[in-house]
Amino acid sequence: MNVVQIHSISLIFAYSGLVYSSALLLEMESALLEEETQVYSYSSTESNPEDGIPKTMLMMAALLGHVDEANTLISAKADLETKDKYGKTALIWAVEKGHTETSRILLQANADIEARANNNRTPLIFSTEKGHSACAQLLIASQASVEAKDKYHRTALSWAAEKGFIECTQILLDAKASLETITNHGRTALTWACRYNRVNCAQLLLSSQADIKVEDKDGKSALVVAAERGHIACLRLLLEAEKAMEIQRSSDDNPDENSAGSAKENSGENS
């Protein structure tokens, strides 16, 4: 049996949801790994039926969310940290697909919660970029770093804000994720939200005191970005936030006037 046949059979096992003996699964996996270069010998420009498919049985179980198969493989001491051609581990596959229970058992087996794929993304970044809030909550509860950055210097909050995933954004804000982390483009999470007209996420960020004045590498603030792209709802939100900031600043600069005004109001009420 050649490696492609082994790979095909292992896929049938995984997609059928069948639990085979750990010895058989690991024997097949071992044969696959020994000849993995044959499976991935296609160039990136060719049509490759194996492209993007996890290369171990544990990865396949993680991708499909098959908890029983994953437990069987973990019990048989399957390697938790093997990476595929994209640098993804079984845990990354599980959280990227939103399989919370499979992710949980991998974490309980001590899978690396800060594993990095080739693009330097962590499991938390993968889960939030896809909007899987339950997986994100699980990872944060398991002490995943909310400040980890990918190759573009983007955090999980940056991705959640851009994609408009409100629950993920709130979870990260609750976990005290930094609002002002600057990406390679010079953009904050607020700028990304306004760039793609994610009004609800922008509202959450502003409510958490995100800085509306930060400018990206092109010298554009979130307000300018929203205006250029015609995102009226975000533009209105930012203008209201800017006005509120000006009122607050004026109040802070003239505390005596405010005190006198309050005293006058109280005097009028008493009379």
Chain segment 123-142, per-residue pLDDT in tens = 999 999 999 999 999 999 99
Per-residue pLDDT reduced to its tens digit, 75-87: 999 999 999 999 9
Q: Alpha carbon of 105 to those of 60, 138, 178, 191: distances in Å?
A: 15, 11, 29, 36
At residue 17, does pLDDT exceed 60?
Answer: no
Contact 139, 127 (CB under 8 A): yes
Which token pair is 75? 């019990």
CA dist., res. 209 & res. 211, Å (int)? 6
Taking residues 185-212, report their average pLDDT. 96
Q: Alpha carbon of 270 to those of 63, 78, 126, 264, 266: distances in Å?
A: 70, 78, 60, 10, 6
Taking residues 251-263, report their average pLDDT. 61
Say whether pTM exceeds 0.75.
Answer: yes
Confidence of residue 11 (pLDDT cuts 50, 70, 90): low
Cβ-proximal residues to 83 (8 Å cutoff; 6+ apart), any chain: 89, 115, 117
Taking residues 60-88, report their average pLDDT. 92
Residue of higher predicted confidence among 37 and 63: 63
**Greatest pairwise CA separation for the chain in angstroms:** 98
Mean pLDDT, the chain, whole residue set: 83
Per-residue pLDDT, 43:
31
- DSSP tag of 55: S
CA dist., res. 139 & res. 141, Å (int)? 5
CA dist., res. 105 & res. 91, Å (int)? 9
Per-residue pLDDT reduced to its tens digit, 151-198: 999 999 999 999 999 999 999 999 999 999 999 999 999 999 999 999
Confidence of residue 56 (pLDDT cuts 50, 70, 90): confident
Residue of higher predicted confidence among 120 and 43: 120
At residue 30, does pLDDT exceed 70?
Answer: no
At residue 10, does pLDDT exceed 80?
Answer: no
Taking residues 99-120, report their average pLDDT. 98
Residue of higher predicted confidence among 157 and 251: 157
Torsion angle (degrees, nearest 10) of CA 134, 138, 140, 146: -50
Q: Find where tokens 């936030």 sit.
A: 241
Which token pair is 233? 């709802």
